[in-house]
Amino acid sequence: MTQKQPLLWLNVIILTLTPLAAAIAVPLYAWKVGFDSYEWLLFGVFMILTGLSITAGYHRLWSHKTYKANFFVRLFWAIWGACSLQNSIVNWSTDHRDHHRFVDDNENDPYSAGLGFWHAHVGWVIRKGKDRNYDNVKDLMRDPIVRWQHKHYLALAIITNAVVPLLLGYFHGKLWGVFLLAGILRIVLNHHFTFFINSAAHFWGNRPYSTDNSARDNTLMALFTYGEGYHNYHHRFQYDYRNGIKWWHFDPSKWLIKSFSWVGLTSHLKSPSKIQIEKARLTVQFQAAMARLEQSPEAEDMRVYLEKRYQQCLVSLNEWARVKREWYQCKKKAFRAKLDHVELRSRYLELKYTMKSQRSQWRMLLAELAVT
């Protein structure tokens, strides 16, 4: 289907000429003239700001509405998002929402991994897809900044990618250095780092939260995409402002959004409860273990035992969540007796210990099954 679609020649030209210019002009200029620290600094600034504008802005703010941002943050993301040269907020978001709605559906997912790595990575960008009707982004069109950026996208893209780098180079006394690094080279890297989430993160990695689609957690991809590599988690909990949920997960977009909330620049940060996340992981582990046992017809007793332990873990999780909720509510109500607070806290800690113990036994059981 995709191979029969006509080429989008503007996209073909951009995605062909920019890598050629980066591969030829950048080394040639480095040999003949050389790049200084000022030019490399601006390359880093442009690289980071355009990357974050896609991840924290286009993706998490507008496509998934995982948090709210004030006027100045939205304007900042809109301008630097145009500089990333990945289309307007409206076009980017309508494609991405279709991707999540129809993930791996070769007919309706714009960059379905089912059509191969090349299609998911860049093939879908250079060939005409289904006509956009913007029905799934009507909510975004109520934002004046989104409407403004969509209307003036081409002008913003030219100014930020050509005019600004050339002016910065001119005032520095070297016209082309900043343009080649912060303009051309940065565009190529920014494009393909983003594209790798659509391609590599659907082919290589782990699926700890859901096996319903091809999205995978890929730590290496997170390093190049400001935290977007935890893609299996994202597809399971797409309304979370985080992608990397552990403190050690490399997710600069998450850290930035959270930091902004401390000074009032962002608000209404969304995330699932720990119980929902743990249930998702537990269910995937249970399904994988049962699938392994299906290969051993004589292991019926083990399957029954495994399902029993799985149900026990779910019950403990639900009970722990209920008591935790009641305890927190009790702490907020002054009229409740102190004894109620103490009893609830004691029950909460008891259930937490039980849950951890069951989780440890569950992991040992899974390890035993993996060996056998």
Q: Is residue 26 part of a domain?
A: yes
Indicate if 60 and 163 belong to the same structural domain.
yes
Q: Is residue 268 part of a domain?
A: no
Indicate if 331 and 190 belong to the same structural domain.
no
Indicate if 354 and 228 belong to the same structural domain.
no
* Contact present, 204 and 232 (Cβ < 8 Å): no
Indicate if 182 and 294 belong to the same structural domain.
no
Determine the longest span between alpha carbons in the chain, in angstroms.
79
Predicted local distance difference test score (pLDDT) of residue 94? 97
Q: Is residue 260 part of a domain?
A: no
How many other CB atoms sit within 10 Å of the CB of residue 282?
A: 16
Indicate if 138 and 279 belong to the same structural domain.
no
Predicted local distance difference test score (pLDDT) of residue 298? 63
Indicate if 163 and 279 belong to the same structural domain.
no
Please give the tally of structural domains in the chain: 2
Q: Is residue 180 part of a domain?
A: yes
Indicate if 37 and 128 belong to the same structural domain.
yes
Decide which of 191, 226, 245 is a domain's last residue: 245
Predicted local distance difference test score (pLDDT) of residue 315? 78
Assigned token pair, 112: 């379905």
Predicted confidence pLDDT, tens digits, the chain (372 residues):
444 689 999 999 999 999 999 999 999 999 999 999 999 999 999 999 999 999 999 999 999 999 999 999 999 999 999 999 999 999 999 999 999 999 999 999 999 999 999 999 999 999 988 888 899 999 999 999 999 999 999 999 999 999 999 999 999 999 999 999 999 999 999 999 999 999 999 999 999 999 999 999 999 999 999 999 999 999 999 999 999 999 999 999 999 999 999 999 999 999 998 889 988 988 998 888 888 777 776 677 777 877 888 887 787 777 766 666 665 666 655 444 454 656 666 666 666 666 677 667 667 767 766 644
Predicted local distance difference test score (pLDDT) of residue 372? 46
Indicate if 235 and 305 belong to the same structural domain.
no
Indicate if 75 and 188 belong to the same structural domain.
yes
* Contact present, 87 and 153 (Cβ < 8 Å): yes
Indicate if 225 and 290 belong to the same structural domain.
no
The parent domain of residue 228 ranges over 2-206+218-245
Indicate if 304 and 200 belong to the same structural domain.
no
Indicate if 230 and 279 belong to the same structural domain.
no
